[in-house]
Amino acid sequence: MQSLTEEIQSFSRTRLRKQCTRVTSLSGRRIIETWKGSTITVVEDPAPPEKMLGYVPDTSWDPQVGIVRPYLLLGSQDAAHDFGTLKKHKVSHILNVAFGVENVFPDLFIYKTVSILDHPDADVLLHIQECCDFIQKARSEKGAVLVHCNAGVSRAPAVVTGYLMACEGQSFDAALSLVKSARPAASPNPGFMEQLRSYKPQMMNGCKR
């Protein structure tokens, strides 16, 4: 039986399998990188744009926090990852609605992660109840909750808009207007906008109107 060292030494590049990686650049250009042995081939990816998962490129530092209510804050992952910003705004709870974004201070704040894809076909309303429950928990504990996604543009604003509609009885237009006033960059994707526009919430548990 070969040792790990012997296996590594005897391994040949000819045994490497062909690998294919799809890459989307920040400009939106899609390419396919194909590796075979030590050779790489790069070609344009013909996949149609509608097959892509929605996302907002997050290329600049953005620790700004929008204050929707004294207990309800809205921002990006940068704000959630900056301890000084969290302490400045007296954040006690963090609602992470991004996909694959780490909670970096698990011993210092109360977290809830609700993974939502920023895609028009994703059902954001499916998650409103549990998000509302967590926000209300923070409020009842006299805390402040930061709701964030990746860029703080689509998912988090959509969730906060849904919360205002479900727990405060606001209309879609009034709720979205309040969210945009707190964070001007807020712009839920078209699918989320359509879902929220037609949302007719019932009185949710723990909500006070």
Domain shared by 103 and 20, yes or no: no
Whether residue 123 is found in the same domain as residue 184: yes
pLDDT score at 16: 47
Q: Is residue 74 part of a domain?
A: yes
- What does the DSSP 8-state code read for residue 119? -
pLDDT digits (tens, 9 = 90+) for 100-128: 899 999 999 999 999 999 999 999 999 99
Residue 123 lies in a domain: yes
How many independent structural domains does the chain possess?
A: 2
Long-range contact pairs involving 112-116 (C-beta distance under 8 Å, separation at least 24): 114/159, 116/149, 116/155, 116/159
pLDDT value of position 29:
53
State the pLDDT at residue 59: 56
pLDDT at 65: 96
Residues 184 and 90 in one domain: yes
pLDDT of 202 reads 76
Name which of 148, 171, 151 is nearest 161 in CA terms.
171
Backbone Cα Rg of the chain:
22
* Low-confidence spans in the chain with pLDDT less than 70: 1-59, 203-209
Q: Which of 20, 131, 132, 149 is catalytic?
A: 149
Active site residue 149: yes
Q: In this predicted structure, what is the pLDDT of residue 2?
A: 56
Say what the pLDDT of residue 140 is.
95
Does 184 share its domain with 133?
yes
Quote the pLDDT of residue 181: 96
